[in-house]
């Protein structure tokens, strides 16, 4: 079985620093992979390379076995249509209403008419449990948790094959965070898609992951099923999971 | 040993690199502006934002410049008994030079900074990345409508500025310099040639293009949070003004040849 998404030997240098130094990771259809790792270890950069928002210096990004980094622009854009992404800060368009945000790609890329797009946006809002009365307000008027829900609705509206989540629970209270975790699990199951999330929130990782990979110094240093997390036998994983300052990983403050 | 030429060389190199990046951006912006799809709703919005809402500031600038110009030419003309040339020189100065340049400079402040701040904020809050993941090209959705709107509406604004500027001169000439109103207007229109207005409108279109592309470019490449957005807006104004004044001279020289 070819993986839905596979990153092969991805290298990326930024401002003279080798941020990614050969990242290898893959995820199959219907599976949820969570990448954990410390701040500044290149988790977001990994995601940006996978999404085509950043071009890796070398290595391959394979979607259904085809390397998107070598595709001509139009074909790559077509492959990218299978992607959905929830941004860390929500990244909602503040000049548009909530429903126009959620229906953005339907209106602007898929040429769905506005009446139908609005109906589908409100249906997506119902799925993420965002009350329809918020459809016409500006994103700025929503709370952080509600913005996450709106971002999630926007990411799933076109039924993507691969969903990406950048720190979906950061900045939320534990109860709201858990509700978002539940929603992510539910959406991934419903869509049957592959999911790649990055987080340093361990309860969240345990909840949404089938598999966990740890990124450190530009490489994947450990990878295994979620159940193995506490018995990984890897000192760096143990330190990260326990949240200890002393160990093989030195905190950079 | 410290090489005194090293900083100069580094400066030249980074300036050249910047020119290269800007040129590449302009190329992409042009390509996005002239190929489908066109986001018509966004274009209309920008025409309102850039064109319509700039009318007051351009109008006020034009009427006062026209009036001041009439007074100055009257005083200068009086030194060799050429006061009667006030209408001719006012219309020449306004249509060929002051209309487009002042409208360009006012819009460099109002529009370039606004575009840079808006797009810069979208950049640092990942809205531009989000747009890309929603299968919508930000060059099509954000850049092209602004470039088209500015390039198309600035000539219209300048035409309005020309009329209001001549009006300003007329008002001063008739009310405080004892000119005959009908004669003033006749002199204005008899003397003015189509090429004067055309030169002004060509300048206006080019200035509009500069204003929008510089604003978009500075916003697009901004980073570093609120500080970066502020820097982008300031840079946009400075770069747009310098480019407008340089290009103004080049276009004028070209037309005078
Ligand atoms: N656009 C960029 N330009 C230059 N350097 C960048 C850029 N984006 C990230 N970096 C650098 O790459 C490194 C990794 O950043 P990244 O955002 O991937 O970290 P992260 O693992 O997501 O951390 P966090 O958990 O804090 O979000 C950092 O040193 C950062 O300064
Ligand atoms: Mg990050």
Q: How many domains does chain B have?
A: 1
| Residue B63 lies inside a defined structural domain of this protein | yes
CB atoms B133 and A93 under 8 Å: no
| Residue B38 lies inside a defined structural domain of this protein | yes
pLDDT at A19 over 60: yes
Nearest residue on chain B to A77, alpha-carbon basis: B135
Q: Whose CA is nearest to atom 2 of ligand 1?
A: A14
Question: Which residues 181-210 of B have a C-beta within 8 angstroms of A?
Answer: none
Distance CA A211, CA A253 (A): 29
Q: Whose CA is nearest to atom 26 of ligand 1?
A: A39
Element of type H or E holding A63: strand A58-63
The count of other CB atoms within 10 Å of the CB of residue A193 is: 23
Pocket of ligand 1 (CB under 6 A): A 14-15, 19, 37, 39-45, 200
Q: Which domains does chain A have, with CATH numbers?
A: 5-242 (3.40.50.300)
Ligand 2 geometric centre to CA of A214 (Å): 14
Q: Which bin fits B130, alpha (ψ -120 to 50), beta or left (φ > 0)? A: alpha
Indicate the residue of A84, A104, A154 with minimum beta-carbon distance to B136: A104
In the prediction, which pLDDT does A211 show? Answer: 94
Q: Whose CA is nearest to atom 30 of ligand 1?
A: A40
Nearest residue on chain B to A53, alpha-carbon basis: B129
CB atoms B127 and A104 under 8 Å: no
Instruction: Give B207: exposed, middle or buried? Use CB within 10 Å, 0-12, 13-18, 19+.
Output: buried
- The whole domain housing B212 covers 6-256
Atom of ligand 1 nearest to the CA of A47: 18
Ligand 1 geometric centre to CA of B201 (Å): 47
Mean pLDDT per block of 10 residues along chain B (257 residues) reads 80 89 94 91 95 94 94 89 86 92 95 96 95 94 97 96 94 90 89 90 96 97 89 95 96 88
- The span from the first CA to the last CA of chain B, in angstroms, equals 50
CB atoms A94 and B126 under 8 Å: no
Indicate the residue of A89, A94, A105 with minimum beta-carbon distance to B135: A105
Q: What is the four-CA torsion angle of A167, A106, A50, A228, rounded to 10 degrees?
A: 50
pLDDT at A128 over 90: no
In the prediction, which pLDDT does B20 show? Answer: 93
Q: Is the dihedral of CA B17, B20, B25, B26 positive or negative?
A: positive
In the prediction, which pLDDT does B1 show? Answer: 59
Q: What is the pLDDT of residues A202-228, one digit of tens each?
A: 999 999 999 999 999 999 999 999 998
Nearest residue on chain A to B136, alpha-carbon basis: A109
Mean pLDDT of chain A: 91
pLDDT at A240 over 70: yes
Contact B117, B219 (CB under 8 A): yes
CB atoms A105 and B136 under 8 Å: yes
In the prediction, which pLDDT does A141 show? Answer: 94
In the prediction, which pLDDT does B78 show? Answer: 86
CB atoms B129 and A91 under 8 Å: yes
**Which residues, 6 or more positions from B10, have their beta carbon under 8 angstroms from its beta carbon?**
none
Instruction: Give B131: exposed, middle or buried? Use CB within 10 Å, 0-12, 13-18, 19+.
Output: buried
User: How confident is the model over A120-147, as a mean pLDDT?
Assistant: 92
Parallel, antiparallel or unpaired: strands A211-216 and A32-36:
parallel
| Residue B241 lies inside a defined structural domain of this protein | yes
Parallel, antiparallel or unpaired: strands A194-199 and A32-36:
parallel
| Residue B192 lies inside a defined structural domain of this protein | yes
Q: Of B105, B103, B106, B195, whose CA–CA distance to B154 is shortest?
A: B103
Q: CB contact, 8 Å: B3 with chain A?
A: no
Contacts 24+ apart (CB under 8 A), A242-245: A243/A202
pLDDT at A251 over 90: no
Contact A26, A5 (CB under 8 A): yes
Contact A29, A193 (CB under 8 A): yes
Whole-structure pTM value: 0.89
CB hemisphere CA count around A42 (13 angstroms): 25
Q: Of A51, A12, A34, A46, whose CA–CA distance to A209 is shortest?
A: A34
pLDDT at A252 over 80: no
Atom of ligand 1 nearest to the CA of A41: 21
Contact B210, B145 (CB under 8 A): no
Cα–Cα distances (Å) from A154 to A86, A90, A133, B46, in that order, read: 8, 10, 17, 25
| Residue B1 lies inside a defined structural domain of this protein | no
């Amino acid at each position: 079985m070819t993986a839905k998404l596979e990153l092969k030997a991805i290298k990326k240098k930024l401002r003279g620093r080798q941020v990614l130094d050969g990242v290898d990771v893959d995820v199959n259809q219907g599976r949820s992979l969570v990448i954990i790792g410390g701040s500044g270890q290149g988790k977001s950069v990994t995601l940006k390379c996978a999404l085509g928002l950043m071009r890796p210096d070398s290595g391959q990004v394979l979607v259904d076995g085809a390397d998107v980094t070598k595709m001509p622009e139009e074909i790559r854009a077509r492959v990218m249509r299978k992607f959905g992404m929830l941004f860390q800060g929500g990244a909602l368009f503040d000049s548009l209403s909530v429903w126009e945000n959620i229906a953005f790609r339907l209106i602007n890329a898929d040429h769905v008419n506005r009446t139908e797009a609005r109906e589908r946006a409100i249906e997506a809002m119902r799925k993420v449990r965002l009350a329809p009365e918020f459809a016409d307000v500006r994103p700025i008027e929503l709370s952080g948790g509600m913005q996450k829900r709106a971002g999630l609705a926007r990411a799933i509206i076109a039924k993507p094959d691969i969903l990406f989540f950048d720190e979906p629970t950061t900045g939320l209270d534990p109860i709201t965070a858990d509700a978002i975790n539940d929603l992510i699990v539910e959406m991934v199951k419903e869509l049957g898609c592959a999911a790649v999330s990055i987080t340093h929130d361990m309860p969240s990782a345990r909840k949404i992951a089938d598999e966990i990979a740890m990124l450190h110094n530009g490489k994947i240093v450990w990878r295994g099923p979620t159940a193995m997390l506490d018995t990984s036998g890897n000192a760096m994983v143990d330190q990260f999971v326990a949240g200890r300052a002393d160990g093989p990983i030195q905190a950079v403050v | 040993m410290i090489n005194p030429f090293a900083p100069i060389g580094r400066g030249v190199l980074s300036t050249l690199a910047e020119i290269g990046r800007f040129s590449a951006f302009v190329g992409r912006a042009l390509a996005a502006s002239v190929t489908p799809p066109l986001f018509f709703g966004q274009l209309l919005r920008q025409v309102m934002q850039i064109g319509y809402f700039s009318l007051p500031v351009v109008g006020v600038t034009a009427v006062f410049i026209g009036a001041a110009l009439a007074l100055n030419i009257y005083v200068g003309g009086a030194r060799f008994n050429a006061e009667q040339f006030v209408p001719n020189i006012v219309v020449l100065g306004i249509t060929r030079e002051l209309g487009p340049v002042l409208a360009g400079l006012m819009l460099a402040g109002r529009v370039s900074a606004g575009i840079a701040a808006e797009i810069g904020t979208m950049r640092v809050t990942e809205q531009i990345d989000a747009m890309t993941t929603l299968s919508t090209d930000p060059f099509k959705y954000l850049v092209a409508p602004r470039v088209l709107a500015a390039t198309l509406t600035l000539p219209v604004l300048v035409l309005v500025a020309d009329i209001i500027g001549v009006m300003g001169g007329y008002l001063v000439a008739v009310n405080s310099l004892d000119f005959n109103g009908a004669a003033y207007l006749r002199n204005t229109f008899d003397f003015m040639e189509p090429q004067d207005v055309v030169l002004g409108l060509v300048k206006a279109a080019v200035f509009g293009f500069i204003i929008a592309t510089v604003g978009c470019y500075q916003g697009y490449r901004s980073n570093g949070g609120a500080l970066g957005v502020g820097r982008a807006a300031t840079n946009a104004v400075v770069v747009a003004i310098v480019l407008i004044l340089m290009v103004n001279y080049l276009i004028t020289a070209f037309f005078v040849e």
